[in-house]
Homo-oligomer: A and B are copies of this chain.
Amino acid sequence: MADRFASLTTRVDLSTELCGVRLQNPTVLASGILGTSKGLLKGVALAGAGAVTIKSLSLEPLPGHNNPIVVGFEAGMLNAVGYANPGIKEGAKEFSNLKEVGVPVIASIIGRGVGDFMKVLEGLWGLDFAAVEVSLSCPHTPGYGMLAGQNTPEATKEIVSVVRKGTELPLLVKLSPNIPEIGRVARAAEEAGADGITAVNTLGPGMLINIEARQPILDFKVGGVSGPALRPIALRCVYDIYKSVKIPILGVGGISTGRHAIEMLMAGASAVGIGTAVYSRGIEVFGKVCQEMEEWMEINGCTSVKELIGAAHAP
């Protein structure tokens, strides 16, 4: 930590902007990892994140799937949390006085349809969120995201154009990597009024089987793939989206080092989400990634994050 603040006095500028929200650095806690309490968000901010996202909130409480809800493998993680959350009413209590967190806090919301989304947005009124992320892309919760067909260009357009009217906050739309023509989905979101794209949610779903038990390990049998396995897919998605839309992108998927973060920026992201790496490198991953980015930028004569955004698209 000491190191990190020391290096902020050097000539490298890590700050960036995401749909009008200024971030001290481009690392953002991804939704669903640790975002269950204000206390945890504070901890992640202290560990160096430029912004944090809460665990997705739905209208009514959701119990989530039975355990195991996560399982690791040699190339990443599967999860089928199933959007366990206490619902928007409880959520609004939990996330009052968000200024205390110290960095911008993004609200993540989910719904079975536009009606749900609008009511959840209502529940956020008066809270200090910096932006809202609408997740249309979970691969493992019946009634939501992919399992409700929300990830097609058509559904995306329909949902976003209504939801857009429900908030004055910057609106991010979170997409699934499972649709090859992700650029089209992003464009649908942009046309419907989104201010930014979060790309991507987990991949798949995938499955792992315990061969002694002769059973899928996750109780829901399948779960979304995150971590290293997802990284090249997420990069390609961000690269494609950058070519398809003008709004900024929050790039998420498999990032665990400063090199990975820079790669994602070069693909076109304005900021980078980090989730699974909280497991592999601890909460300190945010500070470490920033420090690694600074080191690389210094050696490579790069003074600002903005120079990196979309750099891999040079003709």
Residues of A within 8 A of B (CB): 73-76, 78, 139, 146, 178, 180, 203-209, 211-212, 214-216, 221-222, 225, 227-233, 235-236, 239, 254, 259, 262-263, 266-267, 296, 300, 311-312, 314
Contacts and interface: CB of A to CB of B under 8 A. Distances in A.
State how many copies of this chain the complex holds: 2
B211 A266 contact: yes
Contact of A222 (B74, B203, B215, B236): B236
A206 B262 CA distance: 17
Contact of A229 (B75, B214, B215, B266): B75
A232 B206 contact: yes
A311 B210 CA distance: 11
16 contacts: A73-B232, A74-B228, A75-B228, A139-B180, A204-B233, A206-B231, A206-B233, A207-B235, A208-B235, A209-B235, A209-B267, A211-B263, A214-B266, A225-B229, A229-B230, A229-B232
Nearest to A71: B232
Contact of A225 (B73, B208, B233, B312): B233
A292 B82 CA distance: 35
A285 to B, nearest CB: 15
A261 to B, nearest CB: 10
B214 A180 contact: no
Nearest to A236: B207
Which of A76, A207, A212, A267 lies at the interface centre, i.e. has the most chain B CB atoms within 10 A of its CB? A207
B204 A236 contact: yes
A215 B74 contact: no
Contacts of A225: 229, 232-233
